[in-house]
A = this chain, B = another copy of it.
Amino acid sequence: MAVKTYHDIIDALSCAATVEDIHEACSEFCRLYDFDNFIYGARIPTSLSKPYFIYISGYPKAWREIYNSEGYQRIDPTVIHCATHITPVTWERLFRQSREDRRIREFFGEASQFGLVSGVSFPVHSGRGESAMLSLSSAEARQRAARKIQEATPFGQMFTAYLHEAVRRVFSQEILPLTNVRLTEREKQCLLWCAEGKTTWETARILGISERTVLYHIRNASEKLNVTNRSHAIARAIAMGLITPEYS
């Protein structure tokens, strides 16, 4: 069979039905652009008190265990970059920027011992409060890998977007019961006006219904969202993308 192209892999992702399919697509992508390993992580807000985390990883288990037990996600510059940016970033660049911070240098050094020498990380933000990232790694030295990383970057950026949508689809069974809270029109309207700072009375006036009814809708929404009060309901509804205040 012919070598897979970029489009084949995107198509495979679009049809992926299992985690294994997605894993395979990532591996395929790595092969195509000469990367050695990858890790994808996502955090998805839910109606539970904790977000739902998803990882799809080819990274060495030993490294992941060290990473978790040391709490490296707090200092990992790729994680920090991807949480606050929308553009991809090479590890080389992050390494250069961390010149003064010994902890981070040591972190990169430790990762290198597991073959994670150079690489690039791609952020995704969904607009629904979800965020995710894909890192592609190479065992080649930073300087030597620079060119292939640069060439792969636009494709990696787009791959990451499709990857995230594929993950969402495949995990929908697990995610849906947690995220698929459907608010009625009225429930959304009531929450929205409250999120705009309106009181129950004001919201009632705006919507042309009684105060009692506004309370009723907010209560129903709060039960669906599994929250205890109005502020919590608003926070969660926004985080889950059910309402978007201040947008026309």
Contact = CB atoms under 8 A, between A and B. Distances in A.
A136 interface: no
A189 to B, nearest CB: 14
A228 B246 CA distance: 15
Contacts of A125: 86, 125-127
Report the interface size class on chain A. Answer: 35 or more
Copies in the complex: 2
A141 interface: no
Contacts of A84: 127
Given A126-B86, A127-B86, A157-B154, A197 B228 contact: yes
B161 A158 contact: no
A123 B157 CA distance: 13
A43 B154 contact: no
28 contacts: A45-B247, A46-B246, A49-B196, A49-B246, A50-B246, A51-B246, A51-B248, A84-B127, A86-B161, A86-B164, A87-B158, A87-B165, A125-B125, A154-B155, A194-B231, A195-B231, A195-B234, A196-B232, A197-B235, A199-B229, A230-B231, A234-B235, A235-B235, A235-B238, A235-B246, A236-B246, A238-B239, A239-B246
Interface of A: 6-7, 43, 45-46, 49-51, 83-88, 123-127, 131, 150, 153-155, 157-158, 161-162, 164-165, 194-197, 199, 227-232, 234-236, 238-239, 244-248
